[in-house]
Amino acid sequence: MPIKVIVTHDFDHMSEKAAEIVKKIITESLDNKKEFVLGLATGNSPTGLYKHLAKAANAGEFDPSRIRSFNLDEYVGLPGENAQQRVIHPESYCYFMIQEFFGLLNRNLCESSVPYGCLIDQKKLIDELHSNPEDWHEAGTDAGKSIVIKVNPASEYLNWIREDILEGYARKIENGGGMDLQVIGVGGRGHVAFHESGIPFADSKVLLVKLDDNTVTDALMDGHFTSEEKCPHYAISMGAELVYQAKTVVLLANGERKTGPVAESLLAEPTPEVPISYGQKYAENGGNLIYVLDSIAGRELLANDKILQQKGFSIENIS
C-alpha cells in the first residue's frame, strides 16, 4: 500500500489527528471481530494520543475490554531486588504505561503485555555472557548491539532467555492473532523501540539488546538513574521485522531531533542504519503505514514532496 504522510501543526494537533486515525481503525475492526490487538510505544510522542484514546474509551466510543495490548520494549537491569520491584520502578515501561494510558481508563484492557525484561537479573545475565562466550554473538554495526543467543546454548540461563523471554513474547503475540495496529515513535537516529541503528533487519523479531553507551550516559545525565551501577545496560525489544508485521503501523514524530531520521527513512533506500526505513519494505509488501508528524519533524519531507510523490507516497499538509 502507498505510505501516507500527514504533517500537522504541533504536538497537540499531531496527537489529535493520530487519535482520530487509531480510533477509527479500532471501532471499524471491532464491528467485525471480537478483539483488537494494539501495539503500544513509550516515550513522549504517543502520550497525547493515549490521552485522547482514553477519553474516547471513557466516553463509550469503543470498549477497551475488547482490546489486547503488547508493548514494544522494556529495560533489563532496572534497580530492584526482584522482578516485582523492577516492574514498579518509576523508569520501567510498565510504570510508564500505567501513568500515561492504562491508569486513565475507567475500564481495563482485556490484557496488557510488556516484554519480560524485568524477569531477567542483569548481573546474572552479564555473568552468563562472560562465562559462555560460545553461546552467543553480537549483531550490529554501531554501538548498540543485538545479543544473538544460539540454539541449545550450554547456559541454562541463556537458553531460558532465548526460549521463554524472547521467543515466548513473539509466540504470545502470534497466539493473540498478530498486531492489528502498532503505534511507534522515532529514536534520534531513526531507531524503533530498542532496535538500534545498525542492528540487522533479518531475524529481528524479539531482541536482547546491549544498549549504546551513549544511551546509558544520557539516562544518567537526564537524572533517570543515580549511578551507572543502577542503570540498565540491556533491554528486550521487538525488532523491525516484528513491528512491521502489524496490519497498520502509525508512526508519530515531533520536534527537531526527529526531522533528519524521518526524512532519511523515506527519501533514501531502506537500511539498518535507519531502522524505521524498514517501513518502505513493509509498505511494498502491502502494509498500511501512516506517518503523523508535527511541522518540525515533517519539514524536510514537505520540502521534498515531489520525491515522495515520485516514489508513490502521499503527503498531506494540514499544518
At 50-77, the pLDDT tens digits run: 999 999 999 999 999 999 999 999 999 9
More confident of the two residues 165 and 214: 165
Q: For the beta carbon of residue 135, count every other beta carbon within 10 angstroms.
A: 21
Confidence (pTM): 0.96
Positive or negative CA dihedral for 154, 160, 164, 170?
Answer: negative
Q: Provide the b/e sequence for 300-311 (b: ≥16 CB within 10 Å).
A: ebbeebeebeee
What's the whole-number mean pLDDT along residues 188-206?
93
Instruction: Tell me: pLDDT of 218 over 80.
Output: no
Q: What is the mean pLDDT of the chain?
A: 95
φ and ψ at residue 187, rounded to 5 degrees: -75, 165
More confident of the two residues 41 and 219: 41
Q: For the beta carbon of residue 185, count every other beta carbon within 10 angstroms.
A: 21
Instruction: Tell me: pLDDT of 160 over 90.
Output: yes
Cα separation, 172 vs 130, whole angstroms: 30
pLDDT above 90 as % of the chain:
90
Cα separation, 105 vs 147, whole angstroms: 36
pLDDT at 189: 87
pLDDT at 270: 97
pLDDT category at 172 given cuts 50, 70, 90 is very high
Q: Provide the CA 11 distance to its chain's centre, in angstroms.
A: 19
Q: Provide the CA 12 distance to its chain's centre, in angstroms.
A: 21
What's the whole-number mean pLDDT along residues 274-287?
97
Place of cell 492504562: 102
DSSP at 3: -
pLDDT at 225: 85
Least confidently predicted of 127-131, 188-192, 199-203, 216-220: 216-220
What's the whole-number mean pLDDT along residues 172-192?
94
How far apart, in Å, are the Cα atoms of 234 and each of 160, 207, 295? 16, 10, 34
Instruction: Tell me: pLDDT of 222 over 80.
Output: no
* CA neighbor of 189 nearest in space, from 73, 277, 274: 274
Helix (H, G, I), strand (E, B) or coil at 105: coil
pLDDT at 167: 97
- Alpha carbon distance, N-terminus to C-terminus of the chain: 24
**pLDDT tens digits, 223-273:** 888 888 788 999 999 999 999 999 999 999 999 999 999 999 999 999 999
Positive or negative CA dihedral for 235, 237, 239, 240?
Answer: negative
**3 touches 280 (CB < 8 A):** yes
Which residue segments constitute the domains of the chain, with CATH numbers given? Answer: 4-317 (3.40.50.1360)
Q: For the beta carbon of residue 35, count every other beta carbon within 10 angstroms.
A: 18
- Residue 197 carries which side chain, given as an amino acid letter? S
pLDDT category at 282 given cuts 50, 70, 90 is very high
Instruction: Tell me: pLDDT of 38 over 90.
Output: yes
What's the whole-number mean pLDDT along residues 153-182?
97
